[in-house]
Amino acid sequence: MARYVIVMDTRRCIGCHSCTVACKVHNELPTDMVYNPVVQDGPHGIYPNLHSRFLPLICMHCNNSPCVDACPTGASVQREDGIVYVEDKKCVGCLSCVMACPYGARYHNHETGAVNKCNFCMDRVDQGMVPHCVATCHQKARIFGDLDDENSEVYKLIKENQYIQLLPELNTEPAVYYLI
Amino acid sequence: MSEKHQTWGWMLAVDFFFAGMGGAMLVIAGLADLFIGPETTSLLGNIVGPLCMCVGCGFLILELGRPMQAWRVFMNPKAILTFGAWMMTFAIISGLVYASFGIPAELIFWRDWSGLRHLLVIVNIVTGLVVATYPGVLLARHKGRPFWTGPGLMGLFLLSSLVTGFAAHFLCGLVLSPAAATVQSHLPVLLAVLLAAQALLWIGYLWIKRTGTTAVEAASAQRWISGDLSGAFKITFMVLGTVAPLIMALIPVVVFQGIAAVLALVGGVAMRMLTVRSGADRTFLPGEQKYRSRLPQGHEKFLKKIWL
């Protein structure tokens, strides 16, 4: 079975927000909802030795996902390939998952009353395509693939490069890796 | 963005208050029945307990984004919210049936079924304890909410529920006296003891959060000590809701003891409001807070009109 992950190459990301826009446009997100914020970490250091990097944030599709455990209706589901999504018709908008998510990756849609989140564009993934944010990244800073496939690009990148995961101390086992 | 950080609102805090108070009222009535004897607590208190939980359920439903689909919260047995919802349902049913034993015998035929009453007492104590405690467990399991995380809140919520339960039983006893006054006369002293424990434990909790944990937990506790929540914490909760009722409950005058009980209830509401509000303090990722602070606020209608 596949285990889908995204590798974010922070050495390549220039903070252009193309992924943010592509996600909003293709998923037709409400104005106040951003699945793909690109935040700036830094600048750190003392002039002239300054360092800054862009961190594209997204749902981490955690292997040990607190949002799925917290959902009282069973609307938050994790597929066998690791993708976490919300079954809209089952969601009652209790915000349990919003509060449980340590990454702030879930949003209450005030128009529908339900909670929405990034689902790795799973309809596209099921058709063999990559998520919109990955397809639009002209810097190739986002790489999507199957971590269980030893021939995949993500497997090689993670194996050969130094990476970090966000909030590892929470033991959520995120599926997003940041190359540094 | 109308809400920069989406968190639970005041209605959930009110739900926690009513559910906790109702659950504790069942526990108190159950323990009194079990160890002292039947009808030692006010019939009104026995009825108000489960009804309070019903009111709590009402606020919980109103808090939902889709209130008409509230029944779905019973569907995932792995979720603690589902567990709490089931426990509250059992407690309400069991509590109301138990309360019916205080109704005159000519109106109900099961009044003399002592076996059923004892069974309900046990169910009330177990489910009441769970309902009184589970909000603390629910909040404490949030890894990304530094003020909540850890086992401390579980004890604090149970304690506060017992405080409000004792206070509510005492007030109900003033309105409709129980058949035997044994328990009623001791409630103010028990309330005072619990209030003293509450004051000590909250000071300890904040001190530990402030000094013995991570930087984000310390920052979240600082809001209570000298930040934007400090006024409500110190004045409404500690002074009005804990210390003042503690002193007044020890004065052997019914009026003072009644006021003490009302103030203890105010403290219970304030504590839950403050605790739920502290949930806004998530552990932010590097640069995230700055990003979110720059998102549009209050311009949604304008944006939709022009661009969509």
State pTM to two decimals.
Answer: 0.90
Phi, psi dihedral angles at A140 (to 5 degrees)? 55, 40
Percentage above 70 pLDDT, chain B: 94
Could you give the ipTM of this predicted complex? 0.85
Give the residue from chain B lying closest to A97, CA to CA. B142
From residue B125, give the alpha-carbon distance in Å to each of A170, B90, B132, B186, B272: 35, 11, 10, 20, 23
Helix-helix angle B80-99:B43-63, to 10 degrees: 150
d(CA A157, CA A6): 11
pLDDT computed for residue B38 by the predictor: 85
- Angle at B280 (CA atoms; ends B271, B273), nearest 5 degrees: 20
Q: Residues near A39 by Cβ (< 8 Å), separated by ≥ 6?
A: A54, A55, A57, B285, B286, B287, B288, B290, B291
- Tell me the two tokens of residue A119: 């689902």
Closest CA to B301 of A110, A146, A106, A122: A110
d(CA B88, CA B78): 16
pLDDT band of residue B299 (cuts 50, 70, 90) is low
**Which H or E run contains B262?**
helix B254-277
Phi, psi dihedral angles at A52 (to 5 degrees)? -145, 150
CB < 8 Å from A in window 136-165 of B: 141-145
Q: Report strand pairing: A76-78 vs A84-86.
A: antiparallel
In angstroms, the separation between the Cα of residue B287 and the nearest Cα of chain A is 5
CB B198 within 8 A of CB B242: yes
Give the residue from chain B lying closest to A38, CA to CA. B291
A92 contact residues in B (CB cutoff 8 A): 64-67, 69-70, 72-73
In angstroms, the separation between the Cα of residue B216 and the nearest Cα of chain A is 13
Closest CB from A72, A114, A170 relative to B76: A72
Closest CA to B83 of A106, A99, A71: A71
Q: Residues near B222 by Cβ (< 8 Å), separated by ≥ 6?
A: B210
Closest CA to B160 of B299, B307, B23: B23
Closest CA to A144 of A118, A167, A162: A118
- pLDDT tens-digit readout, A31-84: 778 999 999 998 999 999 999 999 999 999 999 999 999 999 999 999 999 999
Q: Is the pLDDT of residue B2 over 50?
A: no
* Residue range B36-51: mean pLDDT, rounded: 90
Please indicate whether, in this complex, the C-beta atoms of B286 and A170 are within 8 angstroms of each other: no
Coil/strand/helix, residue A55: strand
CB < 8 Å from A in window 273-292 of B: 279, 282-288, 290-292
In angstroms, the separation between the Cα of residue A116 and the nearest Cα of chain B is 12
d(CA B17, CA A76): 28
d(CA B46, CA B28): 9
Q: Is the pLDDT of residue B297 over 70?
A: no
Please indicate whether, in this complex, the C-beta atoms of B65 and A108 are within 8 angstroms of each other: yes
Looking at residue B179, the DSSP 8-state letter turns out to be S
Please indicate whether, in this complex, the C-beta atoms of B64 and A92 are within 8 angstroms of each other: yes
From first to last of its 180 residues, what are the pLDDT tens digits of chain A?
Answer: 799 999 999 999 999 999 999 999 999 888 778 999 999 998 999 999 999 999 999 999 999 999 999 999 999 999 999 999 999 999 999 999 999 999 999 999 888 889 999 999 999 999 999 999 999 999 999 999 999 999 999 999 999 999 999 999 899 999 999 998
Q: Residues near B277 by Cβ (< 8 Å), separated by ≥ 6?
A: B7, B13, B229
- Tell me the two tokens of residue B271: 């504590």
- pLDDT tens-digit readout, B240-281: 999 999 999 999 999 999 999 999 999 999 999 999 999 877
Percentage above 90 pLDDT, chain A: 89
End-to-end CA distance of chain B: 16
Closest CB from B6, B63, B285 relative to A166: B285
The full length of chain B comes to: 308
Closest CA to A9 of A169, A167, A138, A125: A138
Mutate to test the interface with B, among A51, A91, A92 (most CBs of B within 10 A): A92
B266 bridge partner residues: none
Looking at residue A73, the DSSP 8-state letter turns out to be S
Please indicate whether, in this complex, the C-beta atoms of B64 and A170 are within 8 angstroms of each other: no
d(CA B229, CA B247): 24
Please indicate whether, in this complex, the C-beta atoms of A73 and B2 are within 8 angstroms of each other: no
B142 contact residues in A (CB cutoff 8 A): 66, 99-100
B285 contact residues in A (CB cutoff 8 A): 39, 55, 57, 103-104, 166-167
Please indicate whether, in this complex, the C-beta atoms of A32 and B296 are within 8 angstroms of each other: yes
CB B22 within 8 A of CB B51: yes
Q: Is the pLDDT of residue B283 over 90?
A: no
Closest CA to B131 of B248, B238, B16, B48: B16
Closest CB from A73, A99, A108 relative to B72: A73
Give the residue from chain B lying closest to A68, CA to CA. B79
d(CA B195, CA B204): 14
- Angle at B127 (CA atoms; ends B126, B130), nearest 5 degrees: 90
**CB contact, 8 Å: B81 with chain A?**
yes
* Residue range B142-168: mean pLDDT, rounded: 93
CB B127 within 8 A of CB B93: no
d(CA B182, CA A17): 70
Phi, psi dihedral angles at A76 (to 5 degrees)? -85, 120
